[in-house]
Amino acid sequence: MATTQVQTVNTGADKAKLGAAAALVLAALVGFYLLGKQGQLVQWAVFLVCLAGAVVVFFMSESGRQLAAFGRDALREVKKVVWPARKEAIQITAYVFGFVLIMALFLWLTDKTLEWLFYDLILGWKK
**Per residue in 87-99, pLDDT tens?**
999 999 999 999 9
Q: Crossing angle of helices 40-60/12-34, nearest 10°?
A: 170
Nearest to 20 by CA among 61, 57, 64, 49: 57
pLDDT band at residue 6 under the 50/70/90 scheme? low
* Mean pLDDT for the chain overall: 90
Q: How many CB atoms lie within 10 A of CB 44?
A: 12
- pLDDT, one tens digit per residue, over 49-94 is 999 999 999 999 999 999 999 999 999 999 999 989 999 999 999 9
Within its chain, how far is the Cα of 125 from the centroid? 49
pLDDT band at residue 41 under the 50/70/90 scheme? very high
